[in-house]
Amino acid sequence: MAAFARPTLGQAGPVTVDTSQSPDLAAWARTVENRAAAWWKIISQELASPGYVPPDAVKLIVTKTRPSGWGGPGQADTIFLNAAFSQAHPEHLNYIAHDMVHVVQTYRGQVKIWLFTGIADYVRYYVLFPLDPERFFKPGAGDYRRGFSIAAALLDWVERTQGVGSVRRLNAAMREGRDGEQTLQAMIGMTLDEAWAKVLADFVEGSPAPHA
C-alpha cells in the first residue's frame, strides 16, 4: 500500500501553448500556461504509480481547423484547443485539465471508455475543481457507463469508501494492463451496479455528495 502513497514531485514538465495559428490569443495563452503548469503537477501526483514517469512536456496547440480535445495515442502529449471556442469562452479552462489527465493515463490493453473518461473527470471534478458546476448531473441522466462526470461520481464514492488512493491504485492496475472493471469490483467487493445504487443513495437534491 505504501508504494501508492502520494509522492512529493519536483518541478513538473513544462506546459506550452502554441498560438502560431491565432497570435491574437497569445496573452490568453500565457494565462493558460501558468494555470496548466500547476494542474500538471497535481495530475502527475494524483495518478502516480511505481515506475511511471510522466512526459517531460505537454503541448497545447490552438487551432482553427479542429475541435478541442486530446491528441490521442499518436499524439499522447498534445492537446488541441479550438481558437473560436477559446476566443468566445476565455475563462472556461477546466476542460483542458480533463484532457491533460489523458496524457498521463497511458493504459495497456483494452480499456473501457467509461473508465478512461471517468478517471479524467474524477481528477477534474473531485481533485482540481470540486466547485465546477459541470460536475453535477441528474441521476436519471444515465449510469456510470456513460463515463465522464457520472462515472467520476462512482469513482469518488470508491475513493471515499475504500480509502484515499483507491483511484490511483485502479489507474496503476490499468497501466499494467489489468482489467479496470474487474479490478474495481475486487476493490469494492460488490458489482458495479450495486455500487452505483449506493452512489445514488448518497445524492442530495440531485447532486453528488461532496468529497470528504
143 with 97, same domain?
no
pLDDT at 140: 82
pLDDT at 66: 95
User: How far apart (Å, rounded) are the C-alpha atoms in residues 114 and 146?
Assistant: 6
Q: pTM for the complete prediction?
A: 0.90
All 3 cell numbers of residue 43?
495530475
85 with 44, same domain?
yes
Q: What is the dihedral of CA 185, 175, 74, 156, to 10 degrees?
A: 50
pLDDT at 12: 38
Its domain, for residue 122, covers 113-201
Walk along the chain (212 residues) and give the pLDDT tens digit of each residue: 223 333 333 333 489 999 999 999 999 999 999 999 999 999 999 999 999 999 989 999 999 999 999 999 999 999 999 999 999 999 999 999 999 999 999 999 899 999 999 999 999 999 999 988 888 888 888 899 999 999 999 999 999 999 999 999 999 999 999 999 999 999 999 999 999 999 998 876 555 554 44
CB 152 within 8 A of CB 118: yes
User: How far apart (Å, rounded) are the C-alpha atoms in residues 109 and 141?
Assistant: 29
86 with 169, same domain?
no
56 with 91, same domain?
yes
Which residue, of 105, 126, 151, is where some domain finishes? 105
187 with 144, same domain?
yes
45 with 89, same domain?
yes
What is the tally of structural domains in the chain?
2
pLDDT at 14: 80
Q: How open is the CA angle 3-8-5, to the nearest 5 degrees?
A: 25
